[in-house]
Each structure stands twice: as structure tokens, then as C-alpha cells.
């Protein structure tokens, strides 16, 4: 059966979402919107509506809570994502993972490419796959190209945990979930990660669960 929104203009769908107020409902794995490439943003939302939508993404991300959110995760197939990470972690974790605070920012039509051969593997989760985490090996540094919400070009090299966030959120816009890139043997519930695998790196989990790290 066709989606009731299949022929509804995106602007009208966004207006409908925002009308309810508060955090937006997050789409979970199994919904086709998470498995299709999102449309490049090219003015489908007027500036005022885009600003309202971005703020709703921010509210939703913070309420979840998460460090990134892509438009398809709230059912809108546009290449827009937001990221923000206060990085409330210990110094040991910061050093191991390169997790440093990231201010709120908007990425419009983002893409990335590796900025060097190094890869890093850590447990990762997703608001659209609630309750689970798995180890994902990702580029340790990427070149990010995008625009911000004002149409200004973004072209920078991002490293450490911020690079992981950029890759995770941009993947969402290509219909890719983190599980597609994860080590299957590492899949763990949030409760088990908290109880057994809270170390700064997943080396102990790799030994115990029988998978290799890069």
C-alpha cells in the first residue's frame, strides 16, 4: 500500500510534522525512508520553514538524547543533518576516542571522503536502532564537504569522534545504517555495553566476542 505521504510535497509534510510541537517522532529501522537515498536540498523548504525544521531537529536530537540526527530519521527524505556533542566524557575516553565537544551545526547536502588511511573502531549506536550498539570501523579523518543552513560552503578535515559523527549522519542520507558497516559479532545491548564494554576502546570486547580490530 502506498504511503499516505507519497505524493505530498515535502514542505507540507514538514509543516504537518512541526504542527504537533515538541520533539519529532524518530523513525526506526525497517522504515523504507531509512533505506533510500535522500533528495539533495535545493530550496524545497522556504528559509523560514527550513529554520523551523532545523530547530525541531535540534530539539529532537537533544531530547533523545543523541549527538546527531538526519532528516530521514524523522521521515523527511532531504539531505539535511544536525550534529552537536557536549562530549561529557573522561579524559581517558577523550584521548582514546578523540571525542571533543562539538557546537551545534547544520550540514546541508554533506558528503565525505577519507583523509588518510587510518581507521578507528569503537562501539556505536543509533537513535533509529534503539537499545543496541556494535563496533564500527570508520575513517579516523574525513574531508567534509557541505553547506550550512545559510548556504555557506563547508570544506574541512574532521578527525576523531567528530569524524565518526559526520560519517554516521551522512550515511543516513545515503540509506545506510551503522549496522551495515558494523562487526556482527560485536552486536550488544545497551545494558551489556554499560556492564561489560565501557572501556575506552573495544579491545576487550574483541577478544571476548571473537572479532578483529583494524
Bridge partners for 107 per DSSP: 81
Cell matching residue 59: 530539539
Known catalytic residue: 92? no
Q: Indicate the SS3 state at residue 122.
A: strand
Single out the catalytic residue among 169, 183, 204, 212.
169
Q: Is the distance from CB of 118 to CB of 139 less than 8 angstroms?
A: yes
Q: What CA–CA distance (Å, rounded) separates 47 from 210?
A: 50
Cell matching residue 137: 570501523
Q: What CA–CA distance (Å, rounded) separates 180 from 190?
A: 18
Q: 5 a known binding residue?
A: no
Whose CA is closest to 39, among 73, 81, 80, 74?
80
Instruction: Identify the residue whose cell numbers are 559523527.
Output: 165
Q: 172 a known binding residue?
A: yes
Annotated binding residues for Fe cation, written as ranges, equal 126, 168, 172
Which residues line the annotated binding site?
Answer: 126, 168, 172
Residue numbers annotated as active site: 169
Amino acid at each position: 500500500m502506498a504511503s499516505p505521504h507519497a505524493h505530498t510535497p515535502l514542505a507540507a509534510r514538514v509543516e504537518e510534522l512541526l504542527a504537533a510541537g515538541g520533539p519529532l517522532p524518530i523513525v526506526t529501522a525497517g522504515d523504507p525512508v531509512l533505506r533510500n537515498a535522500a533528495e539533495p536540498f535545493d530550496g524545497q523548504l522556504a528559509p523560514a520553514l527550513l529554520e523551523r525544521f532545523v530547530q525541531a531537529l535540534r530539539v529532537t536530537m537533544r531530547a533523545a538524547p543523541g549527538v546527531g540526527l538526519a532528516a530521514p530519521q524523522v521521515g523527511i527524505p532531504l539531505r539535511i543533518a544536525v550534529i552537536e556533542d557536549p562530549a561529557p566524557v573522561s579524559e581517558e575516553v577523550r584521548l582514546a576516542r578523540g571525542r571533543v565537544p562539538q557546537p551545534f551545526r547544520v550540514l546541508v547536502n554533506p558528503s565525505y571522503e577519507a583523509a588518510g588511511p587510518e581507521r578507528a573502531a569503537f562501539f556505536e549506536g543509533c537513535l533509529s536502532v534503539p537499545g543496541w550498539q556494535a563496533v564500527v570501523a570508520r575513517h579516523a579523518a574525513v574531508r567534509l564537504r557541505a553547506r550550512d543552513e545559510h548556504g555557506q560552503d563547508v570544506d574541512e578535515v574532521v578527525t576523531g569522534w567528530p569524524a565518526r559523527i559526520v560519517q554516521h549522519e551522512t550515511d543516513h542520507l545515503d540509506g545506510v545504517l551503522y549496522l551495515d558497516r558494523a562487526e556482527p559479532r560485536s552486536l550488544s545491548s545497551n545494558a551489556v555495553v554499560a556492564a561489560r564494554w565501557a572501556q575506552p576502546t573495544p579491545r576487550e570486547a574483541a577478544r571476548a566476542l571473537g572479532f578483529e580490530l583494524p
